[in-house]
Amino acid sequence: MWTFSISAGELPVGYAYCWLLGKTEGIRINDICIRDDIPVIRSPLLTFIRSLFHLPVQYHDFRRRGIGTALLRAIVATAKANGYRRVLGEVKSHDRQRFVGLPDWYFRNGFQVMREGGRILIACETSLPV
């Protein structure tokens, strides 16, 4: 398995896990995520005061800044550099419920999007010579 992770200082920004199926089959993206749930911690005192007044927790949101696109490109480039012919994946319905544009996001990033029964599969050739 390959693990990709992105951080900004000590903050975890995003990650991807990919299974290596084989050079011909390619690699499968098992999970890709850019975080929007890292609590903003300014100082212990401020955190305490905010909790006293039941102020809502604020979160760092790293989404919609092009980081996911860069991560996806890095996955495809790494697959290609290591001799894997394609990158595969599946858009699960629970992910799509939260982000209906997910299949389009993959399509804009060079992936084929295929509907198979109720499933949405994605695939990207790494353009290795046959």
Contact between 69 and ligand COA (CB under 6 A)?
yes
Residue 64 exposed, middle or buried by CB count within 10 Å (0-12, 13-18, 19+):
exposed
Work out how close the CB of 13 gets to ligand COA at its nearest, in angstroms, rounded to a whole number.
9
The DSSP letter of residue 95 is H
Strand (E) or helix (H) holding 44: helix 44-52
Q: Segment near ligand COA (CB under 6 A), from 18-26, 44-52, 77-85, 96-104?
A: 96-104
Instruction: Point out which span in 3-11, 50-58, 76-84, 91-99 binds ligand COA (CB under 6 A).
Output: 91-99
- Identify the residue among 91, 103, 111, 126 touching ligand COA (CB under 6 A): 91
Q: Determine, following the binding rule CB under 6 A, whether residue 23 of this chain makes contact with ligand COA.
A: no
List the helix and strand counts (H, then E) for the chain: 4, 8
* Cβ neighbours around 86 below 10 Å, total: 21
- The binding site for ligand COA (CB under 6 A) comprises 32-34, 63-69, 89, 91, 95, 99, 101-102, 105
